[in-house]
């Protein structure tokens, strides 16, 4: 699909390939429906390039670096080397936050979800 240009964005991560098919997104946008994609920094850049003004990029930031570290290590679900790798990626992503149209601080799941729903419904 990537080679045929059928993906809006795609990436390879940890040996797996991920992507968003272009046509369903175009169809929803054409119908005037808000469309939410949960994607990484590289995907966001690809979407912005492909959709230009039809894309609103929202960056979810942790309240602080210390809180991000606490959240990742506090889960106890991943080995230390995986956490370290995720933190390295997070540092690079946080450095690119200004590329996004809106930045939300993820203080709680409920609050950031409320803010996202408001953004999705703002033009409805």
Question: Per residue in 57-68, pLDDT tens?
Answer: 999 999 999 999
Task: Please report whether residue 19 resides in a domain.
Answer: no
Q: What is the DSSP secondary structure assignment for residue 28, as one 8-state letter?
A: H
Q: What is the pLDDT of residues 10-45, one digit of tens each?
A: 988 767 889 999 999 999 999 989 899 999 999 999
CA distances from 82 to 14, 73, 86, 87, 108 (A): 11, 10, 6, 9, 24
pLDDT at 77: 85
Q: Are 59 and 102 in contact (CB under 8 A)?
A: yes
As a whole number of angstroms, the distance between CA 22 and CA 101 comes to 21
In a domain, 74, yes or no: yes
Of 33-37, 54-58, 120-124, the least confident: 120-124
Give the count of domains, the chain.
1
Output DSSP code: residue 35. -
| CATH assignment at residue 82 | 3.40.50.300
Which range marks the domain in which residue 76 is found?
Answer: 56-121
């Amino acid at each position: 699909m990537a080679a045929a240009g059928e993906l809006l964005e795609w990436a390879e991560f940890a040996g797996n390939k991920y992507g968003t098919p272009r046509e369903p997104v175009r169809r929803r946008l054409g119908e005037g429906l808000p469309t939410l994609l949960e994607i990484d920094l590289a995907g966001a850049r690809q979407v912005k390039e492909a959709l230009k003004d039809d894309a609103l990029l929202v960056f979810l930031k942790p309240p602080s670096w210390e809180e991000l570290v606490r959240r990742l290590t506090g889960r106890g679900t991943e080995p230390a080397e995986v956490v370290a790798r995720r933190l390295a990626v997070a540092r690079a992503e946080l450095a690119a936050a200004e590329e996004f149209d809106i930045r939300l601080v993820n203080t709680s799941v409920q609050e950031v979800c409320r803010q996202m729903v408001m953004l999705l419904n703002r033009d409805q």
